[in-house]
Structure 1
Protein backbone atom coordinates (compact mmCIF):
# COMPACT_ATOMS: atom_id res chain seq x y z
CA UNK A 1 0.00 0.00 0.00
CA UNK A 2 1.63 3.21 -1.21
CA UNK A 3 0.94 6.90 -0.68
CA UNK A 4 0.25 8.31 -4.14
CA UNK A 5 -0.10 11.96 -5.12
CA UNK A 6 -2.23 12.49 -8.25
CA UNK A 7 -1.93 15.96 -9.83
CA UNK A 8 -4.24 16.97 -12.69
CA UNK A 9 -6.31 20.07 -13.36
CA UNK A 10 -9.18 17.88 -14.60
CA UNK A 11 -11.26 16.68 -11.65
CA UNK A 12 -12.73 13.81 -13.71
CA UNK A 13 -9.22 12.60 -14.63
CA UNK A 14 -8.10 12.82 -10.97
CA UNK A 15 -11.18 10.81 -9.97
CA UNK A 16 -10.54 8.09 -12.58
CA UNK A 17 -6.87 7.72 -11.63
CA UNK A 18 -7.67 7.85 -7.90
CA UNK A 19 -10.39 5.22 -8.30
CA UNK A 20 -8.00 2.79 -10.03
CA UNK A 21 -5.34 3.36 -7.34
CA UNK A 22 -7.77 3.06 -4.41
CA UNK A 23 -9.16 -0.19 -5.87
CA UNK A 24 -5.60 -1.54 -5.62
CA UNK A 25 -5.40 -0.46 -1.96
CA UNK A 26 -3.30 2.70 -2.34
CA UNK A 27 -3.75 5.84 -0.26
CA UNK A 28 -4.40 8.73 -2.68
CA UNK A 29 -3.99 12.49 -2.26
CA UNK A 30 -5.13 14.77 -5.09
CA UNK A 31 -3.63 18.04 -6.30
CA UNK A 32 -5.63 20.28 -8.65
CA UNK A 33 -2.58 21.84 -10.41
CA UNK A 34 1.21 22.01 -10.15
CA UNK A 35 1.24 24.58 -7.35
CA UNK A 36 -1.33 22.68 -5.29
CA UNK A 37 0.51 19.42 -6.03
CA UNK A 38 3.83 20.86 -4.85
CA UNK A 39 2.38 22.15 -1.59
CA UNK A 40 0.59 18.82 -0.92
CA UNK A 41 3.79 16.87 -1.75
CA UNK A 42 5.79 18.82 0.83
CA UNK A 43 3.46 17.75 3.63
CA UNK A 44 2.97 14.19 2.42
CA UNK A 45 6.19 12.33 1.47
CA UNK A 46 4.43 10.36 -1.26
CA UNK A 47 5.79 7.02 -2.50
CA UNK A 48 4.70 7.89 -6.06
CA UNK A 49 3.60 11.02 -7.94
CA UNK A 50 1.39 10.89 -11.05
CA UNK A 51 1.08 14.23 -12.85
CA UNK A 52 -0.48 15.73 -15.94
CA UNK A 53 1.70 18.04 -18.09
CA UNK A 54 -0.65 20.79 -19.25
CA UNK A 55 -1.99 22.60 -16.19
CA UNK A 56 -2.45 26.27 -15.26
CA UNK A 57 0.12 27.86 -12.95
CA UNK A 58 2.89 25.30 -12.71
CA UNK A 59 2.81 22.57 -15.38
CA UNK A 60 3.70 18.94 -14.71
CA UNK A 61 7.28 19.23 -15.97
CA UNK A 62 7.93 22.26 -13.73
CA UNK A 63 6.37 20.30 -10.85
CA UNK A 64 8.68 17.35 -11.61
CA UNK A 65 11.75 19.61 -11.62
CA UNK A 66 10.68 21.24 -8.32
CA UNK A 67 10.02 17.85 -6.68
CA UNK A 68 13.44 16.53 -7.75
CA UNK A 69 15.07 19.41 -5.82
CA UNK A 70 13.45 18.22 -2.56
CA UNK A 71 15.40 15.60 -0.56
CA UNK A 72 12.20 13.55 0.00
CA UNK A 73 11.53 13.32 -3.74
CA UNK A 74 15.02 12.87 -5.17
CA UNK A 75 14.36 9.18 -5.93
CA UNK A 76 10.53 9.02 -5.76
CA UNK A 77 8.98 7.62 -8.95
CA UNK A 78 7.15 10.32 -10.92
CA UNK A 79 4.84 9.19 -13.72
CA UNK A 80 3.58 11.67 -16.30
CA UNK A 81 0.02 10.96 -17.49
CA UNK A 82 -0.81 13.28 -20.38
CA UNK A 83 -2.31 13.70 -23.84
CA UNK A 84 1.17 14.74 -25.04
CA UNK A 85 2.70 11.87 -27.00
CA UNK A 86 5.47 13.58 -28.99
CA UNK A 87 9.07 12.42 -28.59
CA UNK A 88 10.25 15.99 -27.81
CA UNK A 89 7.84 16.27 -24.86
CA UNK A 90 8.83 12.81 -23.60
CA UNK A 91 12.50 13.82 -23.78
CA UNK A 92 11.69 17.02 -21.90
CA UNK A 93 9.92 14.90 -19.27
CA UNK A 94 12.91 12.59 -18.93
CA UNK A 95 15.25 15.59 -18.59
CA UNK A 96 12.96 17.02 -15.88
CA UNK A 97 13.29 13.76 -13.93
CA UNK A 98 10.14 11.83 -14.86
CA UNK A 99 10.36 8.07 -14.29
CA UNK A 100 7.74 7.10 -16.87
CA UNK A 101 5.28 8.49 -19.43
CA UNK A 102 1.69 7.32 -19.99
CA UNK A 103 -0.66 8.74 -22.62
CA UNK A 104 -4.33 9.64 -22.03
CA UNK A 105 -6.84 8.21 -22.42
CA UNK A 106 -5.28 5.61 -20.17
CA UNK A 107 -6.06 1.94 -19.67
CA UNK A 108 -6.49 1.33 -15.91
CA UNK A 109 -4.75 -2.08 -16.19
CA UNK A 110 -1.73 -0.54 -17.94
CA UNK A 111 -1.66 2.25 -15.35
CA UNK A 112 -1.67 -0.25 -12.48
CA UNK A 113 0.94 -2.43 -14.16
CA UNK A 114 3.23 0.62 -14.51
CA UNK A 115 2.50 1.74 -10.93
CA UNK A 116 3.39 -1.73 -9.63
CA UNK A 117 6.65 -1.74 -11.62
CA UNK A 118 7.86 1.62 -10.35
CA UNK A 119 6.86 0.91 -6.74
CA UNK A 120 8.99 -2.26 -6.50
Structure 2
Protein backbone atom coordinates (compact mmCIF):
# COMPACT_ATOMS: atom_id res chain seq x y z
CA UNK A 1 0.00 0.00 0.00
CA UNK A 2 1.34 3.44 -0.96
CA UNK A 3 1.58 6.03 1.77
CA UNK A 4 1.01 9.76 1.97
CA UNK A 5 2.16 12.38 4.46
CA UNK A 6 -0.39 15.20 4.83
CA UNK A 7 1.35 18.38 5.99
CA UNK A 8 -0.96 21.16 7.10
CA UNK A 9 -1.36 23.26 10.23
CA UNK A 10 -5.15 22.95 9.93
CA UNK A 11 -6.56 19.91 11.67
CA UNK A 12 -9.71 20.17 9.52
CA UNK A 13 -7.72 20.06 6.25
CA UNK A 14 -5.69 17.10 7.52
CA UNK A 15 -8.89 15.26 8.43
CA UNK A 16 -10.55 15.94 5.05
CA UNK A 17 -7.40 14.93 3.16
CA UNK A 18 -7.04 11.76 5.26
CA UNK A 19 -10.62 10.76 4.49
CA UNK A 20 -10.11 11.22 0.73
CA UNK A 21 -6.69 9.55 0.65
CA UNK A 22 -7.82 6.54 2.67
CA UNK A 23 -10.78 6.13 0.28
CA UNK A 24 -8.13 5.87 -2.46
CA UNK A 25 -6.41 3.03 -0.54
CA UNK A 26 -3.47 5.08 0.65
CA UNK A 27 -1.96 4.82 4.12
CA UNK A 28 -1.89 8.30 5.72
CA UNK A 29 0.35 10.02 8.25
CA UNK A 30 0.01 13.64 9.34
CA UNK A 31 2.42 16.47 10.13
CA UNK A 32 1.51 19.87 11.58
CA UNK A 33 4.29 21.87 9.87
CA UNK A 34 7.29 21.52 7.59
CA UNK A 35 9.73 20.71 10.38
CA UNK A 36 7.53 17.88 11.65
CA UNK A 37 7.20 16.64 8.05
CA UNK A 38 10.96 16.71 7.45
CA UNK A 39 11.60 14.65 10.60
CA UNK A 40 8.97 12.12 9.53
CA UNK A 41 10.39 11.91 5.99
CA UNK A 42 13.88 11.25 7.36
CA UNK A 43 12.50 8.48 9.59
CA UNK A 44 10.42 6.83 6.87
CA UNK A 45 9.99 8.43 3.47
CA UNK A 46 6.40 8.48 2.19
CA UNK A 47 5.50 7.91 -1.46
CA UNK A 48 3.87 11.32 -1.66
CA UNK A 49 3.62 14.48 0.44
CA UNK A 50 0.51 16.64 0.32
CA UNK A 51 2.00 19.98 1.38
CA UNK A 52 0.46 23.24 2.59
CA UNK A 53 2.24 26.50 1.74
CA UNK A 54 1.61 28.71 4.78
CA UNK A 55 2.49 27.08 8.09
CA UNK A 56 4.23 28.15 11.31
CA UNK A 57 7.70 26.87 12.26
CA UNK A 58 8.61 25.80 8.69
CA UNK A 59 6.61 26.74 5.60
CA UNK A 60 5.95 24.47 2.66
CA UNK A 61 8.61 26.23 0.58
CA UNK A 62 11.16 25.92 3.39
CA UNK A 63 10.27 22.22 3.69
CA UNK A 64 10.83 21.70 -0.06
CA UNK A 65 14.24 23.38 0.12
CA UNK A 66 15.23 21.29 3.16
CA UNK A 67 13.94 18.10 1.53
CA UNK A 68 16.41 18.46 -1.33
CA UNK A 69 19.36 18.18 1.08
CA UNK A 70 17.81 15.76 3.58
CA UNK A 71 19.11 12.25 4.12
CA UNK A 72 16.23 10.43 2.49
CA UNK A 73 16.64 7.20 0.57
CA UNK A 74 13.85 7.87 -1.93
CA UNK A 75 12.53 11.39 -2.44
CA UNK A 76 8.74 11.48 -2.20
CA UNK A 77 6.54 13.11 -4.82
CA UNK A 78 5.31 16.47 -3.55
CA UNK A 79 1.90 17.96 -4.27
CA UNK A 80 1.46 21.51 -3.03
CA UNK A 81 -2.06 21.97 -1.70
CA UNK A 82 -2.75 25.61 -0.97
CA UNK A 83 -4.90 28.69 -1.36
CA UNK A 84 -1.97 30.49 -3.04
CA UNK A 85 -3.09 30.53 -6.67
CA UNK A 86 -0.96 33.18 -8.36
CA UNK A 87 1.12 32.04 -11.32
CA UNK A 88 4.20 33.29 -9.44
CA UNK A 89 3.46 30.96 -6.53
CA UNK A 90 2.89 27.98 -8.82
CA UNK A 91 6.10 28.68 -10.75
CA UNK A 92 8.08 29.09 -7.51
CA UNK A 93 6.71 25.82 -6.14
CA UNK A 94 7.59 23.87 -9.28
CA UNK A 95 11.06 25.43 -9.43
CA UNK A 96 11.59 24.48 -5.76
CA UNK A 97 10.79 20.85 -6.55
CA UNK A 98 7.02 20.39 -6.29
CA UNK A 99 5.70 17.74 -8.66
CA UNK A 100 2.11 19.03 -8.77
CA UNK A 101 -0.08 21.80 -7.43
CA UNK A 102 -3.70 21.67 -6.24
CA UNK A 103 -5.89 24.49 -4.99
CA UNK A 104 -7.86 24.47 -1.74
CA UNK A 105 -10.63 23.62 -1.38
CA UNK A 106 -10.06 20.34 -3.20
CA UNK A 107 -12.29 17.34 -3.79
CA UNK A 108 -11.70 13.64 -4.25
CA UNK A 109 -11.64 13.79 -8.06
CA UNK A 110 -9.07 16.60 -8.14
CA UNK A 111 -6.80 14.92 -5.61
CA UNK A 112 -7.14 11.56 -7.36
CA UNK A 113 -6.14 13.09 -10.71
CA UNK A 114 -3.07 14.80 -9.20
CA UNK A 115 -2.01 11.55 -7.51
CA UNK A 116 -2.36 9.75 -10.85
CA UNK A 117 -0.27 12.43 -12.61
CA UNK A 118 2.61 11.93 -10.16
CA UNK A 119 2.30 8.14 -10.46
CA UNK A 120 1.19 7.30 -6.93
CA UNK A 121 -2.14 5.71 -7.90
What interval of TM-score do these two structures reach, taking the shorter chain for normalisation? over 0.9
For normalisation by structure 2, the TM-score amounts to 0.92
| Runs (5+) with no aligned partner, structure 1 | none
Q: Is the 8 A contact 2:5 2:50 kept in 1?
A: yes
Equivalent residues, number: 120
Moved over 6 A (4+): none
Q: Per-residue CA shift, 1:44-94, capped at 9, x if unaligned?
A: 111111100000111001111111223537642100000000011111101
| Cα distance, 1:107 vs structure 2 | 1.7
* CA gap 1:90/1:15 in 2 versus in 1, 3 angstroms: same
Q: Is the 8 A contact 1:78 1:99 kept in 2?
A: yes
* CA gap 1:74/1:86 in 2 versus in 1, 3 angstroms: farther
Are 2:35 and 1:7 equivalent residues in the alignment? no
Q: Is the 8 A contact 1:67 1:73 kept in 2?
A: no
| Runs (5+) with no aligned partner, structure 2 | none
Q: How does 1:85-100 map to 2 (within 5 A)?
A: 85-100=85-100
1:53 alignment counterpart: 53
Could you say what the CA RMSD is over the residues aligned between the two structures, in angstroms? 1.5
* CA gap 1:73/1:21 in 2 versus in 1, 3 angstroms: farther
* CA gap 1:71/1:43 in 2 versus in 1, 3 angstroms: closer
For normalisation by structure 1, the TM-score amounts to 0.92
Q: Distance in 2 between matches of 1:90 and 1:51?
A: 13
